[in-house]
Amino acid sequence: MTQQTVGDVMTQAVAYIPPTTTVTLAARMMRDDDVGDVVIADDGRVRGVITDRDIVVRAVAGQLDPDTTTVGEICSEDLAVVRPDTPITDAVQKMRDAAVRRLPVVDDDGNAQGFVSIGDLAVTADPDSALSDISAAPPNL
């Protein structure tokens, strides 16, 4: 029996923007695409990630102007990442070690391939859990 990998469960649609994008445009993109995180990339190579929480904590609470502040200024740059062939158990451990809920999935060149979230892993590893049920439910708009 083969062990499942991140590539088996990851979300392949990757929203990414350059680091020069304003916080306002990133927030609109998150709203329009119904996502909570966006990859910051230069020519496809992952440089960082910005989350809806980053916008609230680092920009809004920091009283930065979202129309002039760029995502490159407030994004998380020291990232834990995984590759599509990473075993799910290793991805779970990496999330625990880094205390994160999602990991960018990159290829050998550091190009964005997708995201794997704690919800994706719960649906696979523990389909009867509350987290799995919540993750599989349609968005609550």
Q: Per residue in 7-39, pLDDT tens?
A: 999 988 777 899 999 999 999 999 998 888 888
Two structure tokens written together for 138:
């349609």
**What CATH homologous superfamily does 6-136 map to?**
CBS-domain (3.10.580.10)
Number of H-type helices and E-type strands within the chain: 7, 5
Q: Per residue in 121-140, pLDDT tens?
A: 877 766 565 554 454 555 54
Q: Per residue in 29-67, pLDDT tens?
A: 999 988 888 889 988 788 999 999 999 999 999 999 999
Buried/exposed code over 96-118 (b: 16+ C-beta within 10 A; e: otherwise): eeeebebbbbbeeeebbbbbbbb
Total-model pTM: 0.77
Q: Where are the domains of the chain?
A: 6-136
